[in-house]
Amino acid sequence: MKVIDFRKVGEKISQFRKDKNLSQDDLADRMYVSRQLVSKWENGMGVPKIDHIIDLCEILDVSFEELLCLNDGKETKE
């Protein structure tokens, strides 16, 4: 069983958010959460709830596995 590293997940959230040209405020507004909560996720200081993870995947247009770094070390699509 693989353990999820939420610091790495936070880095991915930040990377994917920037790739979509979204600020933390933009992402927070689209998810109906605070900017501070997005910042906590990105800094690995907080863990998104499952419903937030699903929303993040939809907004950032990434797979669940990709967002949670479950593909790391495996061949991924580019």
Q: What are phi and psi of 68, to 5 degrees?
A: -90, 10
Alpha-carbon span 1 to 15, nearest angstrom: 26
- Of 4, 10, 18, nearest to 40 (Cα)? 10
The domains found in the chain, sorted by start residue, are: 6-67 (1.10.260.40)
- Of 7, 9, 8, 2, nearest to 50 (Cα)? 9
Percent of the chain topping pLDDT 90 = 78
What is residue 74's predicted lDDT score, i.e. its pLDDT? 59
Q: pLDDT digits over 30-77, tens only? A: 999 999 999 999 999 998 999 999 999 999 999 999 999 888 765 544
pLDDT at 78 over 80: no
Position 34: which residue type? S
What is residue 26's predicted lDDT score, i.e. its pLDDT? 98
DSSP letter at 71?
A: S
